[in-house]
Amino acid sequence: MKKKVLNWLKETLETLVIAFVLAFLVRTFVVQGFWIPSGSMEPKLHVGDRLLAYKLFYGLDKVGRGDVVVFRYPLDPKKDYIKRVIGLPGDTVRIENKRIYVNEKLLDESYIIHGDSWMRGYPRDDYGPVKVPADSLFVMGDNRDFSADSRYWGFVPEENLVGEAFVIYWPLWRINLIRAAPYP
């Protein structure tokens, strides 16, 4: 009887150790969960939403304009931020009267919202032009009038990139895929 209990205990401990190691590896290298603390990405992502971000082999070579990405905030790398990619390395970004131009082409952004029309001014409504450095991204929230983003604190360096958000998994009634905006 004692031998059965010891065998059961050994198998249970081995299973737990393997499960923890696998969970650690998956979280570190494959996918990670994140929580949305602000309304800067509304209407797509709401305060309290939980999402998963794909991390495996994710770098600037995999990023597309319109992707929703998670990154370490450049001014405080302990914080994770989530925003939409507007400008890729080498792009020129300009904002004129709340409209975004990338390489002098107006972006069609039907998914964004502007919370107020009365408060206008630099840098929120008119900005640039700026050229995105070779190792960086220009990102913005979808709730443009209430988003702290590259207009205020600059570019996101490649080393701060964590991954691409791909699914909202909580709350259950909001489960949905997160797709990139259809930019040219």
Who has greater pLDDT, 90 or 62?
A: 90
- Among 58, 42, 62, 59, residue whose Cα is nearest residue 140: 42
Q: What is the average per-residue pLDDT within 63-70?
A: 90
CB 109 within 8 A of CB 181: yes
10 is catalytic: no
Please confirm, yes or no, whether 40 is among the known catalytic residues.
yes
- Give the three-state DSSP class for 9: helix
pTM of the model: 0.81
CA separation for the pair 83, 147 (Å, rounded)? 9
Catalytic residue among 40, 136, 147, 150: 40
Residue pLDDT, tens place only, 139-167: 999 998 888 899 999 999 999 999 888 88
Q: According to the model, what pLDDT value does residue 94 have?
A: 94
- Reported as a single tens digit per residue, the pLDDT across 72-120 is 999 998 999 999 999 999 999 999 888 899 999 998 888 887 777 555 5
As a whole number of angstroms, the distance between CA 119 and CA 37 comes to 24
CATH 1.10.287.70, applies to 33-177: no
pLDDT digits (tens, 9 = 90+) for 133-146: 999 999 999 998 88
For the chain, domain boundaries: 33-177
| Angle, vertex CA 180, rays to CA 110 and CA 89, nearest 5 | 105
Instruction: Please say if the pLDDT value at position 5 is more than 60.
Output: yes
Catalytic-role residue among 44, 83, 136, 147 = 83
pLDDT tier at 52, thresholds 50, 70, 90: confident
Give the C-alpha separation, 40 to 83, whole Å.
8
